[in-house]
Amino acid sequence: MGKVFICDHPLIQHKLTFIRDVNTKTKDFRDYVDEVATLMAYEITRNIPLEKVKVRTPVSDADGKIISGRMLGLIPILRAGLGMVDGILKLLPAAKVGHIGLYRDPETLQPVEYYVKLPTDVTERELIVIDPMLATGGSANASIQLLKERGCNQIKLMCLIAAPEGVKAVQEEHPDIDIYVAAIDDRLDEHGYIIPGLGDAGDRLFGTK
């Protein structure tokens, strides 16, 4: 069974509180999401493999270790996943970025695919699927499935807020996937919104409501 990591660093929880706040305006919302994504990238890369290198200090040779950034891929689920990409790239600038376009049908809550563009070497990369919201889990599951069907087998999921229902759905359908979240909330409402959540992440990021 994949593990669930709750990124409960005080800085993340502080910023998440402003992200949730209905009075936080679009620009600040976007900035906070960007900052939390950077902080979560720090957590998600904790066990990333390092490569040994030699460097020369001003006084002697030294053994060093560096991250081989070319092995990473970020896969934001459009639209809202886009809000977390730049924050992660600040720490992992060599990662490539693939996009999966899905929207959730408001009636059925099922994900509808409308766009997929992935790096050509995606199967060789360790992938982080990014979406602020894990509600029913339909969008995350469809994205992970799509990546697996294309031969990807090193996948993690990073979300800001998850509902217990979404965590369970991903664990049942993709038990090999580790999930990183800043918070697991109480439940879903009858429209599939996370309670208390933050509302509609895409609309709040892009000011479309």
Q: CB–CB of 80/103 below 8 Å?
A: no
Which of 33, 92, 133, 167 is in the footprint of ligand URA by CB under 6 A? 133
- Residue 182 CB neighbour total at 10 angstroms: 24
Q: Can you say which residues are annotated as belonging to the binding site? A: 79, 104, 131-139, 194, 199-201
Residue ranges binding ligand PRP (CB under 6 A)? 77-80, 103-104, 109, 111, 131-140, 166, 192, 200-202
Closest distance of CB 69 from ligand PRP, Å: 26
Annotation says 200 is catalytic: yes
Is the Cβ of residue 142 or residue 152 nearer to ligand PRP in the bound state? Answer: 142
What phi and psi, each to the nearest 5 degrees, are found at residue 126?
-85, 120
List the single partner that 77 binds among ligand URA, ligand PRP, none, CB under 5 to 8 Å by kind: ligand PRP
Residues 61 and 63: their CA atoms lie apart, in Å, by: 7
| HSE value, Cβ hemisphere, 13 Å, CA-based, for 46 | 7
Residues 209 and 26: their CA atoms lie apart, in Å, by: 10
Residue ranges binding ligand URA (CB under 6 A)? 80, 133, 135, 192-194, 197, 200-202
Catalytic sites, residue numbers: 104, 108, 200, 203
